[in-house]
Amino acid sequence: MRDQLFIDGRWTAGSGGTLPVYDPSTGQEIHRVAAAGPDDVDAAVAAARTAFPSWARTPSAERARLLDAIAAALGDRAEELARLSSRINGKPLAEARVDLEDAAGTYAYYAGLARALDAQQDAPVPLANPGFEARLRREPAGVAALITPWNFPLVTSAWKLAPALAAGCTVVLKPSEFTAPLDLELGAIAEAVGLPAGVLNILPGSGEAVGAPLCAHPGVAKISFTGSNAVGERVMETAAHGTKRVALELGGKSAILVFADADLDHAADLVVSGLFTNAGQMCSATGRLLVERSAYRPLLDRLVARARALKVGPGLDPATEMGPLTTAAQHRKVLSVIERAKADGATLVTGGGIPQGRGEGWFVEPTIFTDVRLDSALWREEVFGPVLAVHPFEDEAEAVRLANDSDFGLVGTVISGDDARAERVAEALEVGVAWIDCPQMVFVEASWGGYRRSGIGRELGPWGLAAFQEIKHVVRPKRG
């Protein structure tokens, strides 16, 4: 595992001490990685600023070539990096392999968009006034600070870094302090493919020591943040000083709606994958299950059986279907959410504790609650763990009203045998992504992001690229 910062194309020890890296399946420290200090933040931003003019002017086809090379390098190293991800994040290896495919696919997709960029520059803009002409340019926003969480390490960074590089931005990436060795491998890949020095800088470190000063740095033009609401709102306040561009991908408390005419075995599979994947540590976790009353008991029975059958264990064990939580703090938090839900009067149907024989590490049982009060923390707040809250509804209108009654609006899933109804409900959900009758399929061509407190802006697709661009119109009297 790497243990140094990556600044201006060089590996360096850093001035912020070191950070522990843990194996979440044992709770043991397995590595230490250098942490950045204030001087490193200054050095990384300076390197990115120096590299910016040349990178911004690099033909977009050349930027595309380098992005393709990053995609290929991730593909070549996919198995090794998936194993590292599983080891330090805790997720089952099969899920980590999917993450690597997603990350490589994201770099390849933005290579495609980058390749077309130069030809699209200076597109004429039709004006009603016959005396003038205007043309449109899309220019890189400048130095971008990218701040990511630990739940999908190489994926969240790819969703930011690939479009940032495609647009012509230079970057300072601050990965989560819990999974930094994984994102540091991007530095090695950048070196291997010949990305110019200073275009990508990587600073492991805590939020307070590195994230906050990076966001406040006057040399940073754009902040793209994925993480919790508490921190995201602080980032937005910081961005206000200097009117920095800011994109926020924050939390969720998403609903999955099951109508009685659905195939309930299929519905149970989708509920399980929508919550217990990555041990529920997904911003898109559908932690609120709304079930039509007549299907309530049969679906609940299926879910309890599936939750009890899930094999919980270390991510690298091929038999594992759900791994541990990634951090000790998250483990404490999820167990306290469970206690609070009980105190709030919810009925614990299954799970609720540490699985038998898994006292080491940060495991929690797949957990299901019913009789959940609609004003309780369990119904309204993000858990970020494998805890499902189930509630019945009487009809379509009530289902939609309950689903939308949330501070968040990231995703939603609707499962019904009546396609017209599923379409109606998907349209009515106030969310960034609505899935009909399918698992949480995320496509790089489609957008990611949410309504309300789930964030500001959209990642992926052309929207992800636009987030790193400034729009300029050149206007002049009409020529000849």
- Cβ 41 to ligand NAD, closest distance in Å? 11
Answer yes or no: are the C-beta atoms of 181 and 2 closer than 8 Å.
yes
Which is closer to ligand NAD, CB of 81 or CB of 282?
Answer: 282
Asked if residues 138 and 462 have their Cβ atoms less than 8 Å apart, the reply is: no
Kindly write down the DSSP assignment for every residue of 157-220, as one continuous string: HHHHHHHHHHHT-EEEEE--TTSHHHHHHHHHHHHHHTPPTTSEEE----IIIIIHHHHH-TT-
In whole angstroms, give the CA distance from residue 403 to residue 245: 31
**Closer by beta carbon to ligand NAD, 174 or else 391:** 174
| CB nearer to ligand NAD: pick between 185 and 396 | 185
Nearest distance, CB of residue 81 and ligand NAD, angstroms: 18
**DSSP classification of residue 267:** H
438 carries an active-site annotation: no
Toward ligand NAD, which CB reaches closer, 370 or 404?
404
Q: Which two tokens stand for residue 377?
A: 């923390």
Report in angstroms how near the CB of residue 382 gets to ligand NAD at its nearest. Answer: 6
Q: Minimum CB separation from ligand NAD for residue 205, in Å?
A: 7
Q: For 72, phi and psi rounded to 5 degrees?
A: -65, -40
Residues pairing with 257 in the sheet = 290, 414
Q: How far is the CB of 138 from ligand NAD (least distance, A)?
A: 24
Q: How far apart are CA 380 and CA 366, in angstroms?
A: 19
**Separation between Cα atoms, residue 98 and residue 120, nearest integer Å:** 33
Q: Which residues lie near ligand NAD (CB under 6 A)?
A: 147-151, 156, 174, 176-177, 206-208, 211-212, 215, 226-228, 231, 234-235, 249-252, 283, 382, 384, 410, 454-455
Q: Closest by alpha carbon to 365, among 308, 299, 283, 288?
A: 308
* Cβ proximity to ligand NAD, 142 vs 211, nearer residue: 211
Q: Report how far residue 142's alpha carbon sits from residue 451's, in angstroms, rounded to the nearest whole number.
A: 27
* Residue number with the smallest Cβ distance to ligand NAD: 207
Helices (H) and strands (E) in the chain, counts: 15, 22
- What is the nearest approach in angstroms of ligand NAD to the Cβ of residue 44? 14
Quote the CA–CA distance of 437 and 200 in Å, as a whole number: 40
Contact (Cβ atoms closer than 8 angstroms) between residue 394 and residue 367: no
Which one, of 390, 384, 373, 385, lies nearest residue 301 by Cα? 390
CA distance 450 to 433: 8
**Closer CB to ligand NAD, residue 138 or residue 217?**
217
CA 409 to the chain's CA centroid? 15
Least Å distance between CB 128 and ligand NAD? 40
Strand partners, 389: 288, 369
Catalytic residue among 95, 177, 185, 283: 283
Nearest to 201 by CA among 239, 175, 227: 175
Interatomic CA distance for residues 131 and 320, integer angstroms:
69
- Closer to ligand NAD by CB, 73 or 215: give it: 215
Please confirm, yes or no, whether 283 is among the known catalytic residues.
yes
Q: Which is nearer to ligand NAD, 206 or 404 (CB)?
A: 206
**Residue 308 CB neighbour total at 10 angstroms:** 12
- In the three-class reduction of DSSP (H, G, I as helix; E, B as strand; rest coil), residue 394 is classed as coil
Query: What 3-state class would DSSP assign to 412?
Result: strand
Residue with smaller CB distance to ligand NAD, 128 or 441 = 441
Shortest spacing between CB 454 and ligand NAD, in angstroms: 6
**C-alpha closest to that of 204 among 186, 228, 216, 218:** 186
Query: How many whole angstroms from its chain centre is CA 113?
Result: 21
State the minimum distance, in angstroms, from the CB of residue 342 to ligand NAD: 23
| C-beta neighbour count of 347 within 10 angstroms | 12
Q: Active-site positions?
A: 249, 283
